[in-house]
Each structure stands twice: as C-alpha cells, then as structure tokens.
C-alpha cells in the first residue's frame, strides 16, 4: 500500500526536502524559503477540532468528564451550568494543568483551571484547558471542543459556532434520552451543521435512566428522525456517563475521526503551492542560464514592470469591485436568506410557540449556513472575474486561473493535476492557496446575526393564534430580518473585498519577487564567473525532477480528498 503524503509526517518531509533544495541552490534566504519554514511550523502545530454539540443539559460535559477521568466523579468541566455561563472550551493535553481565556480581540490570559471555571465568561471568545490526561494525549492531532448547548442564548451560541465553521473536522452530536424525542430545534441545528462537515457521530446519553425496552424504542425513533434529515443510515451510540465502559466508548468515537480532509484543506494546498514556487524559482534559474548578465537585468526590469502594472490595474478596479460586492453581493445574499426563511415559515411558527429563545436559535440555524454559502458563492464568481481582469495581458491567458477560483470555496477539491501543468500555474497555485483565507472572512459575516436577532425576537407577540403568528412572521419578522441584513451586510462585504484585493497583489508579487531573487543570484554568480553552466544545469534538472516527483505524489492525494 502506498504511503500517503497528506499526513503531518509526509508534508513535513516534503517541505524540509524543498528547503534543502533551495539551500543547495543558494536560495535559502529567499522569501519562498522563509515561507517553507513557516509552513513546516504550521503543519507541526496543525489540530483538527471535533465539536461536542447538543441541547443545553444534554449531558455533553458529563460525558467529557467521564472520558477524561473515568468514573472517579471529578468534575473537570462544569456541569449543570446556566445558559448565560456557557462558553466553548477546547481540551488539549499538557503535562501541566492550566487554562487560557481567549478574549474577543484574540488576546490571551493564562490562569488555573479552577479560576477559569469560576470566572464570568462575558467578553471571552473561548477557553482552552490544558490537562495532563492520557486520553487527550492519545488523540494526538484531535482537539475536543465542549460547545455551549444550541438551545442556550442566541448570542452565546452564535459566538461559539461562528468561530468553528471553517475549522471543525467533525461533530459529536449528543442527544439526551430524557426527552424521548429529537426536538425541532435539534433537527434544525443538525440541518445546519451538515453544511459545515459531513463527519457527524451521534450519541444517545443518560441511557441508564430507562429500562432496556423503553430505551430501544426511544433510540429507534431518534435514529429515524436523524436519518430522515441526513438521508443516509447512521449509528446512534447508546451510553451514559455512569456506565463503566463510557470512557472507552467515547475514546473509540473520538479516535474514529480522520483529520486528513481538514489537513488537506488547511495545509495541503499551501504546501503544494510552496513546492510549485520552489519549482518556479529553479525553472527561472535554468531558463536564465543561457542569458548574459545584461539580459538577466532586462528580465528583472520586465518583472518589476509587471508588478507596477498589476498595482495600477488593481487600483483601477478597486472601486468597481468593492461597489459590486456591496450592492450586488448584498442583494444576492439577502435574497438567499429571505428565500430560506420563507421556505421554513412553518418551522418558525413552531419555534415561536416554544418561546423567544427557541425562535431566535431557529432563525440563526436557518440563516447561518445561507450567509456562509451565499457569500462564498458570490465571492467565487467575482473573484474569478477580478483575477482575469487584472492579470490578463500581464501574465498571459489567465482564464484557467478564474476557472479554478471556485475550488477555494468548496474545500479546494479537484486541485492538482487539472491545472498544474498550465502556463503560469505557479502564480495561479499561489493565489488560490493563499486565498483560502477568504473562507475565514465569512465568520464575521455570520457573527453579525448576533447584532439583530435579539431585537427581532422582541417583536414577537405572545399568546396569539397560530394564523396571526404566521402572518406576523411572514409580514413583519422576515421583512425586518431582511432589512437589517441589507443595512449591515455591505460593511462586511467591503472588508472581504479589500482583503481579497490585497491577497491577489501580495500573492502575485511574491512569485515575481521570488523569480527575481532566483535570477539575481545567477546573475551575480555569472559576474563573478563562479558558475559552471553545465554543472549548474545538471544540478537544477535533478532538483526539478525531485520537486516534480513530490508534487505528483501530493496531487494524487489531493485528488482523493
């Protein structure tokens, strides 16, 4: 069986080899070489987060406490907390126990686990618990996240879920057997997280409270509800934090997640792009072997002129591009959100009957995936057009670059062989791999729901007939949500656009600068008459073959994902 490249070990091995090749050709201090070194660190520090989700009081924290400390009864995570004190908590292994409280602005505060547990989480984004627990150590690259219940406050849940939309390797959906059913709010949340990850495991907990026959009936009904939503067979694991085998059951569940997909999306394509950048630098040197020093100087000047032309075109397109995002983009996204809400009026009516919190969370579950997907779809189309406009004529035919832009927002699938051999593919690869960060821009857009959902909930009239409630939702609530989005979204779209423009310029300039670094070194050697052309060509050919072999193997694995 062939060894996969798309593992931490495989990627680090290839990146280190690329670094050695750059050093061999006296390019060890180039920007590409520095980026390769940074990417090695990024791969080494890679984590796949598995989110424990479920309703408030479903028993998530109790199961995690059992997973971490067996049945000793130690409460590492607080159980039976109020909705207002819920916060996402990441669990990592460390020889020493301590906590990090992460603020909304990203700043970090270190404290003891007990201090974190007793602190007010208001103003914090998440907690990180570092614990000397063997089961956490054995999970290696997997970080478990204890999430606030999706039936907790609208603000708390939106804040928690938005930060993990693009970084979750999978979900463990914990369902309490207490209720005996998979309620509407839980069904809505399951429909939502399907948009973010296809890897969802299901656990029925508190099973010790039911007779075997009753438990089987409950489990069968809930399993049927889940399968109706996801449209495929699922396994529903039955357990309880009080069961003697609960620790082993949860370890087996967590260790079954494969972080390879997320590793490919987050680091595989960046690593591939750096291999191609390395290949590009060596190719530039090889092509320049036949040039004299004055011709190399001329080529360097031509490359600098391309940078100036790119900057001018981006500036010319800036206002037009940002205006398009703020107007057409906003309307596209708003329209998708409105359609989604109107298609689910009956669900909203049922949720409204359950109270303002249930209604607010249901609205959020419907809106979040639409905001994420609609924004990504529009960015895909406009990015492709922009990239073609600003690069055409400067870097040759760039249509294929635009065609590949859509791969970014779909998890960067079908990359690799489909355009690796194209002219200027080095530029395309770098831009596309770099622009993966744009998917992270969606999170703040999703978070803006926090700003207006509580206001909308306040408009609901309590204790009215279902017909009038439906009319209020259709004629007042949905139009108000749409209008609020229409007013607030342009600011976020403009930020996405500005970051996109900067990314394009930085990515292309990196490739031009790298090319110049490569041939400047050759020019200097030629001036000093320190280069044997035949030996240099032979060494470059060998290195290019080594890089090509690594890229070919990586492409095979990327195409599998």
pLDDT digits (tens, 9 = 90+) for 134-172: 999 999 889 999 988 876 655 666 667 777 866 788 899
Count of CB atoms situated within 10 Å of the CB of 533: 11
Same domain, 434 and 348: yes
pLDDT at 537 (0 to 100): 92
- Among 109-123, 350-364, 422-436, the range with the most confident prediction by mean pLDDT is 109-123
pLDDT for residue 442: 53
Mark whether 168 and 280 lie in a shared domain.
no
Q: Which of the pair, 412 or 344, is modelled with greater confidence?
A: 344
Comparing 218-222, 547-551, 553-557, the range with the smallest average pLDDT is 553-557
Enter the tokens of residue 108. 């970090």
Last residue of a domain, one of 242, 257, 272: 257
185 and 79, same structural domain? yes
Considering only CA atoms, give the Rg of the chain. 27
CA–CA dist 84, 157 (Å, integer)? 10
Confidence at 378, pLDDT banded by 50, 70, 90: confident
* Contact present, 92 and 142 (Cβ < 8 Å): no
**Mean pLDDT on 275-302:** 89
The pLDDT tens digits of the residues spanning 49-60 come to 999 998 877 888
pLDDT number for residue 153: 56
Q: Are 433 and 272 in contact (CB under 8 A)?
A: yes
Cα distance between residue 229 and residue 348, in whole Å? 17
Total domain count, the chain: 3
Q: Are the C-beta atoms of 391 and 423 separated by less than 8 Å? A: no
**Cβ-contact 35, 28 below 8 angstroms:** no
251-257-259 Cα angle (round to 5): 130
Beta strands in 12-148 (DSSP E): 48-54, 89-93, 98-103, 108-111, 124-131, 142-146
Q: 329-332 long-range contacts, Cβ below 8 Å, gap at least 24?
A: 329/375, 329/378, 329/379, 329/382, 329/489, 329/493, 330/485, 330/486, 330/489, 330/490, 330/493, 331/486, 332/374, 332/377, 332/378
pLDDT, greater one: 276 or 227:
227
* pLDDT score recorded for residue 307: 86
Report whether pLDDT(203) > 90.
yes
CATH code assigned at 172: 3.40.50.300
Round to whole Å and give the CA distance between 561 and 549.
Answer: 19
pLDDT at res. 548: 94
**DSSP-derived secondary structure letter, 129:** E
Q: Is position 298 within any domain?
A: no
Please tell me the predicted confidence (pLDDT) of residue 429: 40
Residue 260, pLDDT score: 78
For 30, the 3-state DSSP assignment is coil
Residue 217 lies in a domain: yes
Residues 478 and 488 in one domain: yes
Look at residue 163 and tell me if it is in a domain: yes
Question: Domain range spanning residue 161?
Answer: 49-257
List of E strands, 64-105: 89-93, 98-103
The pairing of beta strand 48-54 with beta strand 168-176? parallel
Average pLDDT over residues 438-461: 56
406 pLDDT exceeds 80?
no
Residue 540 shares a structural domain with residue 511: no
Pair 335, 209 in one domain: no
Q: What is the pLDDT of residue 447?
A: 59
Reported confidence tier of residue 558, pLDDT bands at 50, 70, 90? confident
504-532: average pLDDT: 82
pLDDT attached to residue 303:
85
Look up tokens 């400047």; give the residue.
Answer: 520
User: Do residues 504 and 482 both lie within one domain?
Assistant: yes
Q: What is the pLDDT of residue 435?
A: 39
Q: How high is the pLDDT of residue 177?
A: 92
Tell me which residue of 361, 339, 340 sits closest to 350, measured CA to CA: 361
Residue-level pLDDT at 343: 93
Q: Evaluate whether residue 368 is within a structural domain.
A: yes
- The per-residue pLDDT for 405 is 35
Residues belonging to the chain: 561
The CA distance from 57 to 41, in Å, is 39
C-beta neighbour count of 220 within 10 angstroms: 11
Tokens for 306, please give them. 């391309």
Work out the average pLDDT over 322-341: 92
pLDDT on residue 152: 60
Q: Does 304 fall in a domain?
A: no
497/324 Cα distance (integer angstroms): 9
Q: How confident is the model at residue 487 (pLDDT cuts 50, 70, 90)?
A: confident
Instruction: Extract the tokens encoding 24.
Output: 């061999």
On whether residue 36 sits in a domain, the answer given is: yes
pLDDT of residue 514: 85
The answer to whether position 302 is within a domain reads no
Q: Quick one: 473 and 551 in the same domain?
A: no
Over the chain, what is the mean pLDDT? 80
For residue 70 the two structure tokens come to 């067996």
Residue 400 confidence (pLDDT): 34
Q: Is 531 left (phi over 0), alpha (psi -120 to 50) or beta?
A: beta
Q: What is the pLDDT of residue 437?
A: 38
If one compares 528 and 473, the residue with the highest pLDDT of the two is 473
Q: Compute how many other C-beta atoms are within 10 angstroms of the C-beta atom of residue 219.
A: 19
Question: Residues 380-386: contacts with CB within 8 Å, 24+ apart?
Answer: 380/405, 380/406, 380/408, 380/409, 381/406, 382/321, 382/324, 382/325, 382/329, 383/408, 383/435, 383/438, 383/500, 386/317, 386/321, 386/500, 386/501, 386/504
277 and 322 co-located in one domain: no
Q: How confident is the model over 7-23, as pLDDT tens digits?
A: 888 999 999 999 999 99
Say if 305 falls within a structural domain.
no
148 and 14 fall within a common domain: no
Same domain assignment for residues 66 and 215: yes
Please, what's the b/e burial string for 58-76 (b: 16 or more CB within 10 A of its CB; e: otherwise)?
bbbbbbbbbbbbeeeeeeb
Calculate mean pLDDT across residues 355-371.
79
Looking at 239, 257, 275, which one is the last position of a domain? 257
Shared domain for 58 and 30, answered yes or no, is: no
Which segment of 93-102, 116-125, 129-138 scores lowest on mean pLDDT? 116-125
């Amino acid at each position: 069986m062939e060894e996969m490249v798309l593992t931490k070990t495989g990627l680090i091995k290839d990146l280190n080899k690329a670094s050695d090749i750059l050093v061999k050709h006296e390019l060890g201090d180039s920007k590409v070489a520095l980026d390769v070194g940074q990417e090695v660190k990024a791969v080494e520090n890679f984590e796949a987060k598995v989110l424990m989700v479920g309703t408030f009081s479903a028993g998530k924290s109790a199961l995690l406490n059992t997973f971490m400390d067996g049945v000793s009864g130690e409460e590492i995570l607080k159980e039976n907390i109020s909705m207002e004190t819920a916060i996402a908590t990441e669990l990592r292994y460390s020889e020493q126990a301590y906590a990090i409280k992460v603020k909304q602005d990203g700043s970090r505060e270190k404290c003891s686990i007990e201090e974190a547990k007793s602190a007010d989480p208001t103003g914090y984004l998440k907690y990180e618990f570092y614990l000397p627990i063997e089961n956490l150590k054995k999970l290696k690259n997997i970080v478990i996240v204890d999430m606030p219940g999706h039936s907790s406050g609208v603000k708390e849940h939106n804040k928690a879920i938005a930060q993990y939309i693009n970084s979750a390797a999978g979900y463990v959906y914990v369902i309490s057997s207490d209720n005996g059913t998979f309620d509407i709010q839980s069904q809505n949340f399951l429909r939502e997280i399907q948009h973010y990850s296809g890897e969802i495991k299901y656990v029925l907990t508190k099973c010790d409270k039911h007779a075997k026959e009753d438990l089987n009936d409950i489990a069968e009904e809930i399993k049927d509800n889940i399968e109706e939503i996801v449209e495929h067979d699922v396994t529903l694991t039955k357990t309880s934090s009080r069961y003697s085998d609960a620790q082993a059951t949860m370890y087996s569940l967590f260790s079954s997640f494969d972080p390879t997909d997320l590793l490919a999306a987050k680091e595989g394509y960046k690593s591939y792009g750096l291999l191609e950048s390395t290949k590009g630098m060596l190719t530039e040197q090889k092509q320049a072997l036949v040039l004299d020093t004055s011709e190399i100087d001329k080529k360097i000047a031509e490359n600098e002129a391309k940078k100036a032309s790119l900057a001018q075109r981006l500036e010319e397109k800036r206002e037009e591009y940002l205006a398009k995002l703020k107007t057409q983009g906003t309307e596209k996204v708003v329209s998708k959100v409105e359609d989604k809400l109107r298609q689910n009026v009956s669900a909203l009516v049922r949720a409204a009957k359950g109270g303002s919190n249930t209604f607010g969370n249901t609205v959020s579950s419907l809106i979040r995936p639409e905001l994420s997907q609609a924004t990504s779809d529009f960015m895909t189309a406009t990015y492709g057009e922009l990239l073609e406009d600003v690069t055409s004529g400067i870097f040759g035919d760039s249509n294929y670059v635009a065609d590949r832009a859509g791969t970014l927002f779909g998890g960067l699938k079908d990359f690799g062989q489909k355009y690796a051999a194209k002219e200027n593919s080095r530029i395309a690869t770098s831009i596309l791999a770099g622009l993966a960060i744009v998917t992270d821009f969606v999170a703040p857009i999703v978070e803006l729901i926090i700003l207006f959902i509580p206001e909308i909930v306040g408009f609901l009239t309590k204790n009215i007939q279902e017909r009038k409630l439906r009319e209020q939702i259709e004629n007042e609530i949905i139009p108000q949500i749409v209008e609020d989005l229409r007013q607030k979204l342009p600011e976020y779209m403009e930020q996405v656009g500005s970051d996109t423009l900067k990314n394009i310029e930085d990515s292309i300039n990196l490739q031009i600068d790298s090319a110049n670094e490569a041939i400047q070194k050759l020019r200097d050697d030629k001036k000093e008459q320190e280069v044997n052309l035949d030996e240099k060509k032979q060494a470059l050919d060998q290195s290019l073959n080594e890089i090509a072999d690594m890229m070919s193997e990586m492409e095979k694995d990327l195409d599998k994902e």
